[in-house]
A and B are shown apart, each in its own frame.
Chain A
Amino acid sequence: MGARCDACKHVMLPPQSVCGQCYGYDLSWIELSGRGKLLYASVGKHRLMGLDFIQGTVKLEEGPLVPGMVIVDDFDFSHPEKIWDYNVANISVLAEIVKNPLGVESIAFRIIEPGK
């Protein structure tokens, strides 16, 4: 869920109590589609969990930018440089709620349309 300004329709995630664009206080909840584009991604090991994973920045189709884990089922973590290919392609992603390795229910993005 995100917040949308009743006046200017600006969408915010995380939800805020004041519109970051027109400063209005009248906001409504909005269910976000979860669809977006992967703008950038890096790969590394979570130092506390000792877990290799991909972290990306996604622009949702409603507008907000969201950082989060990216799920690429067949990614070869022994070649982290291969993440470059995912940065230069125009990749569509879809959010899903997963229980991450920290045990927290979180947003992750699964690649759905490589190159489109």
Chain B
Amino acid sequence: MAKTLSRSVDIIGVGLTNQGFVSNTPEVKYMTSRELWSWAAQEAVKDASITAKKLDALFVGNMISELSEDQYHLGNLLPQSTGLTVSEEVWKPSVRIEGACASSSHAIRQAAFAIAAGVYDIVIAGGVEINNCRIRSRDPGNPRKMTNEERLQSIYCHYDQAWEVSQLSIQDMVLAQWLIAYAKHYRLDVETMYDWLDARIFSNAYNGHLNPKAYWNGTIEELALNAGFEDPVAFLRSPDHNPVTYWPLRLFDGPRRCDGASAVVLCASEISEQFHKKPIRILGTGNAHGRSFSEKMYSQPFIVEAARQAYEMAGVGPGDIDIVELYDFVAPEYLIPLEDFGYFERGEAWQAVIHQRTRFDSDKPVNTSGGAAASSVVGSVGAVETYYLVKQLRGEAGANQVVPTPEIGLMYDAGAARDCIINIYGRLV
């Protein structure tokens, strides 16, 4: 028997900050997690057409606030500024959840479970992250960019210290092997691998350049011209402008890390239409863990399992998915999940991307936001994806709206490429 939510849950509000560096991006300059979260939360509460008084609890995802801000315990820091107050001195239930890059996805999932259990009716969940800057408690008014060592340490601390980090097993190199394994399995040559990597960059940039909330929304063609290249592919193959990092990956196959927050208001379905005319239903959710490497590598069993759970709960199949937002921190995390959760048949995703079928105006839209190449706010990823999917499913996505308006969307997030959450959202038709 399929495991389902015992009480249906809808999303009635979403909010997203501008994304950038709190050290120097004007819209977010000098903000801490408190201010970023407040921005996203206020936007989500207004979008839900409620007041903060209606909120019963807060679940916030965050990955590295102790490293970036000397700040643990966001669960206590954020309820007052979110309006989760019983009185000036007493605040409502609130907790921070950490699951690496899947932190906010876990927060949304746990918030949905709390509503489904009947404990709460309306909950705010999401994520906040300062993940590219450093704010020291002794000098809070002077945020600066992280040093390279600080930035890497903030990532490496989410891997197995005894059996990976100390053994020189670098996650990005394992992920490079996902792509190598895929090419090996489907007998693609090296040049085709390079073509696929370029195609993903073009698809993401095509989608992301119409996204006003993206940290980077330029085009590869502009970057190429500015660097003196008529041919954008030649630019992407240039060792000076796009050097190899972990073969076959290059610099542009990684993310653009930045700071920001996103919030989601969840509500019991039986009352959701009191507040929002277009509630988006959480049809299914799945979570599974693994080690990020497997014998076959071109398919990750923990992704397959999370998808199985989500589809079973939702009562839909891969063929019902109209749109996907996925976390492609490194390029192979785009390719492998697309087949593991069945958006494309086995062995077909690489060709679909090369043919740019993943653009927002093509038949299999993926990352209409621009993906991690546009902005990557690590602990807030799932909430950011949820924001964009909700906008798409409502038909409110603006210039990169998928037409016709999609009915069912799938969100894929993964913490450290080993803690997978898949949520399936549906428009009520």
Q: Which residues of A line the B interface, CB within 8 A?
A: 14, 39-48, 53, 55-57, 59, 65, 67-69, 80-81, 83-84, 87-88, 100-102, 104, 106-107
Contact = CB atoms under 8 A, between A and B. Distances in A.
A89 B79 CA distance: 57
A84 B193 CA distance: 11
Given A55-B173, A69-B167, A100-B167, A43 B246 contact: yes
A43 B164 CA distance: 16
Interface stretch (B176-184, B207-215, B218-226, B348-356): B176-184
B244 A65 contact: no
B295 interface: yes
Interface residues of B, number: 32
Contacts of B246: 42-44
A86 B160 CA distance: 26
A107 B247 CA distance: 22
A40 B169 contact: no
B170 interface: yes
25 contacts: A39-B295, A40-B177, A40-B297, A42-B173, A42-B176, A44-B170, A44-B246, A45-B245, A46-B168, A48-B148, A55-B168, A59-B295, A65-B291, A65-B295, A67-B293, A68-B167, A68-B168, A68-B169, A69-B169, A83-B247, A88-B184, A100-B168, A102-B166, A102-B168, A106-B167
B247 A106 contact: no
Interface of B: 148-149, 152, 160, 162-164, 166-170, 172-174, 176-177, 180-181, 184, 190, 244-249, 291, 293-295, 297
B377 to A, nearest CB: 21
A78 to B, nearest CB: 10
Contacts of B190: 81, 84
Given A65-B293, A101-B168, A40 B181 contact: yes
A106 B120 CA distance: 49
A contact patch SS = strand
A67 B172 contact: no
Given A44-B247, A83-B247, 9 more contacts: A40-B177, A41-B180, A42-B173, A42-B177, A48-B148, A67-B164, A67-B167, A68-B169, A100-B168
Contacts of B149: 48
Contacts of A56: 177
A67 B293 CA distance: 8
Nearest to A83: B247
Q: Which of A53, A57, A69, A87 has the most CB of B within 10 A?
A: A57
Contacts of B172: 44
A43 to B, nearest CB: 5
A33 B362 CA distance: 52
B184 A87 contact: yes
A88 B184 CA distance: 7
Contacts, number: 91
A83 B177 CA distance: 11
B244 A107 contact: no
A112 to B, nearest CB: 20
Of all A-B residue pairs in the complex, the 6 with the closest CB atoms, nearest first, are A44-B246, A80-B247, A40-B177, A42-B176, A67-B169, A55-B173
Contact of A46 (B160, B170, B181, B297): B170
B248 A81 contact: yes
A88 B177 CA distance: 12
Nearest to B156: A48
Given A67-B167, A69-B168, A44 B293 contact: no
B425 to A, nearest CB: 33
Contacts of B295: 39, 59, 65
A55 B170 contact: yes
B300 to A, nearest CB: 13
B168 A65 contact: no
A101 B167 CA distance: 10
Contacts of A101: 168
B336 to A, nearest CB: 13
A22 B249 CA distance: 38
A87 B260 CA distance: 39
A110 B114 CA distance: 51
Contacts of A104: 166-167
A5 to B, nearest CB: 18
A55 B184 contact: no
Contact of B152 (A40, A47, A55, A69): A47
Q: Which of B181, B244, B247, B297 has the most CB of A within 10 A?
A: B247
A67 B247 contact: no
B174 A80 contact: no
Contacts of B167: 67-69, 100, 104, 106-107
